[in-house]
Amino acid sequence: MAWVGFGALVLVLLVVDLLAHRKKHGESKRSAIAWSVGWIALGLGFSFFVWRAYGSQAAHEYLGAWLIEKSLSLDNLFVFLVIFRSLSVPEDEQRRVLFWGIFGALVFRALFIFAGVEALQRWHAVVYVFGFILLFTAFRVAREDPAEKRDSKLVHWLARRLPVTTVVEGARFIVRRDGRRVATPLLVALIAIELTDIAFAVDSVPAALAVSHEPFIVYTSNVFAILGLRALYIALAHVITELRYLHYGLAAVLAFAGLKMIVPDHWIHVPPLVSVAVIVGCIGTAVIASLQARARQRRRQPAPPKGPGSSTVDPREAHV
């Protein structure tokens, strides 16, 4: 019954999200921030249902898995930004691509999660495989600053292998040219986002499984973290690249999840609530450090002239 109720709830939320953003309604930055707050509140609120239905231990595991997925989803925003820039997709059409990209992500995450849980139940050694994958990913994320990426190799790879138009054709994903069907940049962006999410799932799903092996907890936490990605992207697209230390926080979260999987529980037992505190501490420290660095950089920048009276140029020369 919990699965049925959750499926019905997600279906309703998808319909509401689609109708609310139809005809460009609710797409301003202020509205996106409000929607992001609402999605976060909904994700946190679902933990009360988990607590009432399965107990406090399950609720703590849900919060830990939700925070991991929500934190790692910030890395997705960098990739979304690079993909849309590479294809010159207008902001008005980015929302449509993100909606269908998130819908596909819900399906692929379900496949990854149930396959991962089944593998953990059948072969215990898979725990160490997942753990080393997370540690390797943490090392890679710490070395590569996603904010420095300006182009997408995946987009160029797809563009070379698909018949693609050079301009966006409104809201259409496929158009007819010279008697044959060709893809628009929107379809290329959608495929790139889906493939990227599959690659991210290889990291995020094991990280969530480090907190809980219960499919319902892991999948619901992933879904509620993913559902608000579109609004979060609209709200943070112009500032996400300025969080220069965020990737270090994400790397720390991945490393923590990897070590939690590799180190036997009877050696070091990390309660779910402690996992929540560690995740919040890693991401919070990275965000605060990034904001402080941004503020210091702005203070060092010379202030622009406030008006004609502040200029050292003679007003008559300026007029000429």
Whether 148 is covered by a domain: the verdict is: yes
Whether 12 is covered by a domain: the verdict is: no
| Alpha carbon distance 146, 76 (integer Å) | 10
pLDDT at residue number 303: 57
Q: Are 258 and 138 in contact (CB under 8 A)?
A: yes
Residue ranges in the chain modelled with pLDDT below 50: 25-26, 310-320
Q: Backbone phi, then psi, for 182, in 5-degree steps?
A: -130, 155
Give per-residue pLDDT as tens, 99-148.
Answer: 788 778 888 888 878 887 787 777 767 777 777 877 887 887 787 766 56
Whether 11 is covered by a domain: the verdict is: no
pLDDT at residue number 315: 40
Whether 267 is covered by a domain: the verdict is: yes
At which residue do the structure tokens 């019954």 appear? 1
- Distance of CA 53 to CAs 5, 152, 276, Å? 13, 44, 20
Whether 159 is covered by a domain: the verdict is: yes
Whether 53 is covered by a domain: the verdict is: yes
Q: Give the total number of structural domains in the chain.
A: 1
Residue 89 is part of which domain span? Answer: 27-297
77: left (phi over 0), alpha (psi -120 to 50) or beta: alpha
Q: Count CB neighbours of 160 within 10 A.
A: 8
- Whole-model pTM: value is 0.73
How far from the centroid of its chain's Cα atoms is residue 213's Cα? 22
Whether 3 is covered by a domain: the verdict is: no
Name the token pair of 104.
């596909």
Whether 136 is covered by a domain: the verdict is: yes
Positive or negative CA dihedral for 107, 113, 119, 121?
A: negative
SS3 for the chain, per residue? CHHHHHHHHHHHHHHHHHHHCHHHCCCCHHHHHHHHHHHHHHHHHHHHHHHHHHCHHHHHHHHHHHHHHHHHHHHHHHHHHHHHHHHCCCHHHHHHHHHHHHHHHHHHHHHHHHHHHHHHHHCCCHHHHHHHHHHHHHHHHHHCCHHHCCCCHHHHHHHHHCCECCCCCCCCCEEEECCEEEECHHHHHHHHHHHHHHHHHHHHHHHHHCCCCCHHHHHHHHHHHHHCHHHHHHHHCCCHHHCCCHHHHHHHHHHHHHHHHHCCCCCCCCCHHHHHHHHHHHHHHHHHHHHHHHHHHHHHCCCCCCCHHHCCCCHHHHHC
pLDDT at residue number 267: 72
